[in-house]
């Protein structure tokens, strides 16, 4: 088995993809592979890196099905020698795949092993063990089960979100659960129970940001990991509705030009950190805390940053694509400069290392003012431009932002996410699928799918404009964007508004996604009342 070519050949044999050969062949193969000597390993990695995508897929598939087989057989509680080796092999493949050119890359989703996410006890045990190892409460050792959290590339988005939530809730899991689910004394003395402490924000609606920033800046930093409770001075009910209301309006105010916190792209549709901040850098620290709180409290917020911001949060370097997203004209011309223009064209363009960014001129090479861009230094120019726009010019404020964000959220868990996923989880998507929305709706009390009011309601709903439908989603859920996992996540329940007359407006309970509808006696009335409700009622935020 010391000849590395064998490891390239075997995964293409279909018998190795069969369940009955997992224990006797695939696991042994994994162990043999992970114990290869350095030079054989190097040869193997070179082979992998030169593979075309379909072949790579075949390899991934074999190792994945072995893993899936073991997971389905429920053997993850016991220690199986080859299982860690399979995980390690997948990690090698993942790393090789990351390095190859885009055209030969296998999509990241091919690495997902859905079976990991299908078992909540597995995920919970895994998070627990992972945290214990992290804090040195359990020693590393050969007889521990594998820790999937160490292989986040295997986790699909739903699993990552679940892990994030377990990690957040872990102190609330009771001893009994652990004893039921998990063998050995491994998992004891972890959960010191105390009533969940809270961080309370008491705010005036009329001075929302001022109050938030003041209270956050006085708060003890240890408090940020606690449960958030929002109370409005005007009506001191403490509910989830307040929280959604709060995030919705706080972010709207933050992103408005009056807050002076961000720079915008020319169409004012995207924001970025400014190179000459007009407000104190502490504000960005507090903004980071707010974003962390929104994520930790599963609140989708409106935050039109380019992907670059989410890359930076998980320590990835922005690229030209990110510039193209934020400033398409600048980005595309840089791309042409790099790849399309001939040397002559470049010399004739008279471009210099002096660029205009966020309202000021910047010398990208401070050593040589007005240095011309020629084909020999075009790469240096593009790199310097990107580094200035996405890194240097925002370094101080971004660091403050990041510091605040990670005061609330757990860095290790956040870094599981790909930047696209993190953006999706935080800001939602615009994948409105109103058919799914309708199919998932349930009815309560007197209402049922064939009830005349319900039939009329859907007629009216279908006739709403796209904007009005979004306003309806906002009215219903407190947020007008779709959760990253899709419209399936929004399950409306419709019930009769108690004691209502023809003159009442429909109401909503945003925290439970309930629409409360009076039994109107005509379509016209239902339509006018619904539209009226959407117009001047943004959730429970009554002005």
Ligand X SMILES: *[C@@H]1O[C@H](CO)[C@@H](O)[C@H](O)[C@H]1NC(C)=O
516, containing H or E segment: strand 514-517
Q: Please, what is the minimum distance in Å from the beta carbon of residue 146 to ligand X? A: 22
Rounded alpha-carbon distances, angstroms, from residue 403 to 283, 289, 314: 12, 8, 13
* Triad 185, 189, 195: Cα angle to 5°: 140
Q: Please give the Cα distance from 526 to 464 (Å, whole number).
A: 12
Q: Please, what is the minimum distance in Å from the beta carbon of residue 466 to ligand X? A: 18
Q: Please, what is the minimum distance in Å from the beta carbon of residue 150 to ligand X? A: 17
Q: Please, what is the minimum distance in Å from the beta carbon of residue 527 to ligand X? A: 25
Of 97, 77, 96, 95, nearest in space to 148 by CA:
77
Q: Please, what is the minimum distance in Å from the beta carbon of residue 75 to ligand X? A: 29
Smaller CB separation from ligand X, 72 or 317:
317
* SS3 at position 232: strand
Smaller CB separation from ligand X, 4 or 292:
292
Smaller CB separation from ligand X, 228 or 533:
228
Q: Please give the Cα distance from 103 to 123 (Å, whole number).
A: 34
Smaller CB separation from ligand X, 413 or 490:
413
Residues 453 and 340: beta-carbon distance below 8 Å: no
Residues 460 and 480: beta-carbon distance below 8 Å: no
Residues 90 and 151: beta-carbon distance below 8 Å: yes
Q: Please, what is the minimum distance in Å from the beta carbon of residue 285 to ligand X? A: 17
What tokens were used for 221? 């930093």
What is the DSSP-derived secondary structure letter of residue 264? E
What tokens were used for 355? 């660029």
Q: Enumerate helices (H) and strands (E) in the chain, giving the number of each.
A: 24, 10
Q: Please, what is the minimum distance in Å from the beta carbon of residue 312 to ligand X? A: 8
Residues 11 and 62: beta-carbon distance below 8 Å: yes
The number of angstroms, rounded, from the C-alpha of 114 to the middle of its chain's C-alpha atoms is: 18
Smaller CB separation from ligand X, 91 or 396:
396
Strands 514-517 and 493-496: parallel
Residues in touch with ligand X (CB under 6 A)? 164, 167-168, 171, 225-227, 265-267, 269-270, 296, 317, 325, 327-328, 387, 391-392, 395, 408-410, 413, 498-499
Smaller CB separation from ligand X, 391 or 519:
391
Q: State phi, psi for 153 to the nearest 5 degrees.
A: -65, -15
Q: Please give the Cα distance from 447 to 493 (Å, whole number).
A: 10
Residues 231 and 200: beta-carbon distance below 8 Å: yes
Q: Please give the Cα distance from 232 to 72 (Å, whole number).
A: 49
Q: Please give the Cα distance from 43 to 6 (Å, whole number).
A: 12
Q: Please, what is the minimum distance in Å from the beta carbon of residue 482 to ligand X? A: 18
* SS3 at position 509: strand
Q: Please, what is the minimum distance in Å from the beta carbon of residue 266 to ligand X? A: 3
What tokens were used for 96? 């090789």
Smaller CB separation from ligand X, 186 or 270:
270
Smaller CB separation from ligand X, 323 or 373:
323
Count CA within 13 A, CB hemisphere, residue 86: 31
Catalytic residue list: 511
Q: Please give the Cα distance from 200 to 538 (Å, whole number).
A: 23
Smaller CB separation from ligand X, 317 or 369:
317
Q: Please give the Cα distance from 536 to 543 (Å, whole number).
A: 8
The CA R_g of the chain, rounded to the nearest whole Å, is: 27
Beta strands of 190-304 (E only): which ranges?
198-203, 227-232, 263-264, 271-272
Smaller CB separation from ligand X, 27 or 394:
394
Q: Please, what is the minimum distance in Å from the beta carbon of residue 42 to ligand X? A: 28
């Amino acid at each position: 088995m010391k000849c590395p070519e064998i490891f390239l050949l075997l995964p293409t044999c279909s018998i190795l993809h069969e369940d009955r050969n997992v224990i006797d062949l695939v696991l042994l193969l994994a162990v043999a592979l992970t114990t290869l000597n350095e030079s054989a390993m190097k040869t193997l990695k070179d082979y992998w890196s030169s593979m075309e995508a379909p072949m790579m897929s075949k390899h991934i598939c074999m190792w994945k099905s072995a893993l899936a087989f073991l997971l389905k057989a429920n053997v993850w509680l016991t220690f199986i020698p080859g299982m860690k080796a399979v995980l390690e092999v997948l990690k090698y493949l993942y790393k090789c795949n990351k390095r190859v050119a885009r055209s030969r890359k296998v999509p990241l989703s091919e690495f997902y092993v859905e079976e990991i996410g299908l078992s909540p006890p597995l995920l919970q045990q895994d998070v627990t063990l992972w945290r214990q190892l992290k804090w040195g409460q359990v020693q590393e050792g050969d007889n521990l089960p594998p820790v999937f959290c160490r292989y986040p590339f295997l986790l699909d988005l739903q699993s990552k979100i679940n892990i994030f939530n377990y990690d957040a809730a872990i102190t609330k899991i009771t001893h009994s659960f652990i004893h039921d689910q998990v063998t050995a004394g491994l998992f004891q003395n972890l959960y010191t129970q105390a009533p969940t402490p809270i961080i309370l924000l008491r705010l005036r609606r009329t001075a929302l940001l001022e109050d938030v920033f003041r209270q956050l800046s006085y708060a003890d930093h240890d408090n940020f990991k606690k449960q958030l409770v929002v109370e409005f001075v005007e009506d001191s009910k403490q509910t989830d509705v307040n929280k959604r209301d709060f995030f919705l309006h706080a972010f709207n105010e933050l992103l408005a030009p009056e807050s002076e916190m961000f720079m915008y792209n020319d169409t004012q549709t995207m924001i970025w950190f400014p190179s000459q901040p007009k407000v104190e850098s502490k504000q960005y620290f507090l903004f980071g805390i707010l974003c962390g709180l929104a994520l930790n409290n599963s609140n989708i917020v409106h935050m039109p940053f380019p992907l670059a911001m989410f890359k930076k949060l998980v320590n990835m370097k922005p690229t030209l694509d990110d510039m193209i997203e934020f400033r398409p004209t600048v980005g595309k011309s840089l791309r042409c400069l790099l790849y399309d223009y001939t040397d002559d064209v470049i010399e004739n363009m008279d471009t210099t290392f002096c660029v205009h960014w966020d309202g000021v001129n910047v010398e990208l090479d401070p050593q040589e003012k007005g240095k011309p861009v020629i084909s020999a230094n075009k790469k240096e120019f593009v790199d310097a431009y990107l580094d200035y726009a996405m890194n240097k010019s925002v370094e101080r404020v971004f660091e403050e932002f990041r510091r605040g964000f990670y005061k609330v959220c757990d860095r290790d868990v956040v870094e599981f996410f790909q930047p696209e996923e993190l953006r999706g989880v935080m800001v939602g998507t615009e994948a409105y699928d109103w058919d799914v929305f309708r199919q998932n709706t349930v009815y309560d009390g007197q209402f049922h799918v064939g009830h005349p009011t319900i039939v009329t309601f859907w007629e009216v709903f279908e006739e709403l404009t796209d904007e009005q439908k979004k306003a309806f989603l906002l009215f219903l859920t407190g947020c007008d964007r779709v959760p990253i996992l899709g419209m399936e996540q929004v399950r409306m329940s419709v019930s009769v508004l108690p004691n209502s007359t023809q003159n009442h407006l429909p109401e909503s309970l945003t925290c439970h996604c309930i629409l409360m509808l009076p039994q109107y006696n005509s379509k016209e009335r239902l339509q006018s009342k619904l539209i009226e409700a959407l117009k001047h009622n943004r959730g429970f935020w009554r002005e």
